[in-house]
Amino acid sequence: MSLPQLSERQPEVLDDAPNMTPAKAISGPSVIWLVLGFEVHTVGILLLASLISARPARAQEPPIGKPVQAAPSTGVTTRGVYAPVKDAQSRPITAGGFVSGAPVVFADITKQSGLDKFHHHSGTREKSTIIETPGSGVALLDYDNDGWLDIYLLNGSTLNALKGKEPAPRAMLLHNNHDGTFSDVTEKAGVANERWGFGVAVGDYDNDGWPDMYVANYGKNRLYHNNHDGTFTDVAEKAGVTVGGWSAGPTWGDYDHDGRLDLFVAGYVKFDPERLPGPATGLPASFCQFRGVRVMCGPRGLTGEGDHLFHNNGDGTFTDVSVKAGVSDPKGYYGFASVFVDVDDDGWVDLAVANDSVPNYLYHNRHDGTFEDVSYMSGFALSGDGREQASMGIAVGDYDRDGKVDLYVTSFSDDYNTLYKNEGDGNFSDTSFQAGLGTPTIPFLAWGTGFLDFDNDGLLDIFVANGHVYPGVDQQDWGTTWAQRPQLFRNLNGTRFQEVPPATGSGLADVIAARGAAFGDLFNDGHIDVVLNNIDSAPTLLRNVVNNHNHWLAVKLIGGSKSPRDAIGAKVSVTAGGVTQRGDVFSGGSYGSSSDQRLHFGLGALTKLDKLEIHWPSGRKQVISVPEVDRIVTVTEPNTE
């Protein structure tokens, strides 16, 4: 990597650079760069003026002369070693920084709601193998079509359960009772899974008007078909989508425009419980260390699982078209999350994949059943400073209201979560530091994430679920902790974000080991709530209690005969007060989790829409008049031409 390239990227981090200087650099090629990167700041400033006008698309290049999965000195990718950030009580900021008297955004209603009936289990507390550390996702879906979102929480498992020596933990489906409480309906519904669950994606793959669920496990995956009577049947075997091995964050989307949802399944690591990864199996010890301390091994140094794209044949079966479509991941990158979304607005869903500790994938849909790998060309493969990151989850939303959908990717501690602004023409740029989002996320290890307008002011905010993978961090003075508080970043003006103070005693002050995160209006009151699936503990239900009298509109879409019935892939633009917001219907994205597919728009003080335009997956455009706001409107795509 040559110096001019570094300088060209470096202006991205100038904004907050003085606060984020690595305290010291660990060894390894990617980290030497960090020291270099800081030194070239001044060079970067000098070159900035000349570069800005000359800089074309922000294409990235694969690291030259550096094998992506070799060389580095630990099992994960980070940005460097940072000095601990502590609060006034000397607590690491990841488990402190609470602010008395700050406005409360989320109330933790886990107990009152009955969600504490669920308890997640993932191996042992020591977390000595990689499979015990990632944890599981959560889905919000209205499985019984009563108009209220229900909650599906995946569970983990144990090595003993894999060997049949003890019962496997059970997933839980919780029915929304419409009164703030939820009832466990898992037994009747038949969705206990009882395999090591990682990801879930909701999609009505058979267009019968009832949401189905795909569950990504270690071992065989499930396709839970909704039987319309409160029960599901696992049809994965018949459908041909069991996969096997270790699957993570799936997504549904109709990539070939036949009106039926297809399925993408990210693969993580090849894992054999009879042959645990470690020095005994030939893995260099460096892949089992973090900051010189022994930790679970991987993912780097381990063999990655490939990814799978399944074409929906329309008869209840699917065909694995991964290789032909060009998305099979022959490099064996460690996939954690994926999402189908149309990033270039050509009317065809593209595919983004968050990979752990290696470059991310962005695949452009070529409209002929195949995809072009534009990961580097688009700028989505690496961070703005040219590094691969330990990517965990993807948020999808147009935060700057320029009509182009942006992406936000969560990452490890000692690294920042990355905001990828969509510049158009298939280019993304890392605007994390300009947006004020870089520095505050560095101590945190982040997973589930979503763009949500928590205060209904018409600007998409960002929520991040946090928690570490190494229990031993609590015995170190690294400025990070096993259990961490979640983070909420308020969008100030479409370009800058500010962290919302964690009010003492509020949901943002919950110190938990969160993993999956799903977002949706659980109580149909116009406020987006959050459900977190926490590793080795009860989940968290964060009820949005903001009451600022801002107005809102939610839109539920029902696709016609040429679109998926649940309208995944649809795009809606809402214009009010001269400003246009964009919403995308998608499945998956956030770490292992799937959110409310109704689109939610905050309107601030406005009570009138100028325009609501729907771009259906079929290609049809439709303009709807909405006479009243503060409600959920259902729009059905007409079938006539």
Site for Ca ion, rule CB under 5 A: 142, 144, 146, 148, 150, 176, 204, 206, 208, 210, 212, 226, 342, 344, 346, 348, 350, 365, 398, 400, 402, 404, 406, 422
Is the four-CA dihedral 473, 477, 481, 487 of positive or negative sign?
negative
CA pair distance 56, 318, nearest whole angstrom: 41
Whose Cβ is closer to Ca ion: residue 106's or residue 152's?
Answer: 152
CB of 530 to Ca ion, least distance (A): 18
Identify whether the C-beta of residue 573 lies closer than 8 Å to the C-beta of residue 345.
no
Residue 303 or 561 having the CB closest to Ca ion: 561
As a 3-state breakdown, the chain gives helix, strand, coil percent values, each rounded to 5, of: 15, 30, 55
**CB 221, min distance to Ca ion, A:** 17
Mapped onto helix, strand or coil, the DSSP state of residue 52 is helix
215-241 in b/e burial notation, b at 16+ Cβ within 10 A?
Answer: bbbbbbbbbbbbeeeeebebbbeebbb
Q: How many other C-beta atoms can be found within 10 angstroms of the C-beta atom of residue 178?
A: 11
Q: Output 340 or 444, the one with its CB closest to Ca ion.
A: 340
Which is closer to Ca ion, CB of 17 or CB of 173? 173
Instruction: Rounding to the nearest 10 degrees, give the CA dihedral for residues 566, 637, 551, 527.
Output: -10
| Complex with Ca ion: residue 144 or 305, whichever CB lies closer | 144
- Report in angstroms how near the CB of residue 95 gets to Ca ion at its nearest: 33
Cβ neighbours for 164, distance < 8 A, ≥ 6 positions apart: none
Nearer residue to Ca ion within complex by CB, 211 or 592: 211
Paired tokens of 287:
């892949």
Q: Closest distance between Ca ion and the C-beta of residue 365, in Å?
A: 5
Q: Least distance to Ca ion from the beta carbon of 165, Å? A: 36
Q: What angle do CA 590, 79, 11 make, to 5 degrees?
A: 95
| Burial bucket for residue 111 (CB in 10 Å: 0-12, 13-18, 19+) | exposed
Residues forming a β-bridge with 355: 335
Q: DSSP labels for 470-525?
A: -GGGGGS-SS--SBB--EEEEESSSS-EEEPP-BTTSGGG--B-EEEEEEE-TTSS
Q: In what order do the strands lie in the sheet with 427-430?
A: 394-397, 406-409, 418-424, 427-430
3-state class (DSSP) for residue 3: helix
Give least dist CB 101 to Ca ion, A: 35
**Helix 41-54 / helix 29-39 crossing angle, nearest 10 deg:** 80
- Determine the Cα–Cα distance for residues 249 and 588; give it in Å rounded to an integer: 7
User: How many residues in the chain?
Assistant: 641
Distance CA 373, CA 381 (A): 10
CB of residue 36 to Ca ion, shortest distance in Å:
31
With respect to Ca ion, which residue has the nearer C-beta, 206 or 430? 206
Closest separation in Å from C-beta 434 to Ca ion: 14
CB of 426 to Ca ion, least distance (A): 9
Which is nearer to Ca ion, 78 or 431 (by Cβ)?
Answer: 431
We find the least distance from the C-beta atom of residue 578 to Ca ion, in angstroms, to be: 17
CB–CB of 256/244 below 8 Å?
A: no
Using DSSP's 3-state secondary structure scheme, residue 378 falls into helix
Residue with smaller CB distance to Ca ion, 254 or 536: 254
- Residue 435 CB, shortest distance to Ca ion, in Å, is 12
Minimum distance, C-beta of residue 52 to Ca ion, in the bound complex (Å): 20
Helix (H) or strand (E) holding 107: strand 106-108
Peptide linkage before 62 cis (omega within 30 of 0): no
CB 393 within 8 A of CB 412: no
Taking alpha carbons only, the member of 450, 428, 314, 446 closest to residue 391 is 446
Compare residues 227 and 289 and give the one whose CB is closer to Ca ion. Answer: 227
Q: Which two tokens stand for residue 374?
A: 């534009």
**CB of residue 364 vs Ca ion: minimum separation in angstroms?**
6
Shortest spacing between CB 409 and Ca ion, in angstroms: 15
Nearer to Ca ion, 185 or 266 (CB): 185
How many Å apart are CA 581 and CA 610, to the nearest integer? 12
The residue (of 350 and 415) whose beta carbon lies closer to Ca ion is 350
**Which residue lies nearer to Ca ion by CB, 15 or 204?**
204
Pick 170 or 257: Cβ nearer Ca ion: 257
* Cβ–Cβ < 8 Å for 183, 117: no
Which of 243, 156, 173 has the alpha carbon at shortest distance from 211? Answer: 173
Nearer to Ca ion, 266 or 349 (CB): 349
Question: In the bound complex, what is the minimum distance in angstroms from residue 579's beta carbon to Ca ion?
Answer: 13
CB of 316 to Ca ion, least distance (A): 11
The strand pairing partners of 232, in sequence order, are 226
Quick one: 72 or 564, whose CB is closer to Ca ion? 564
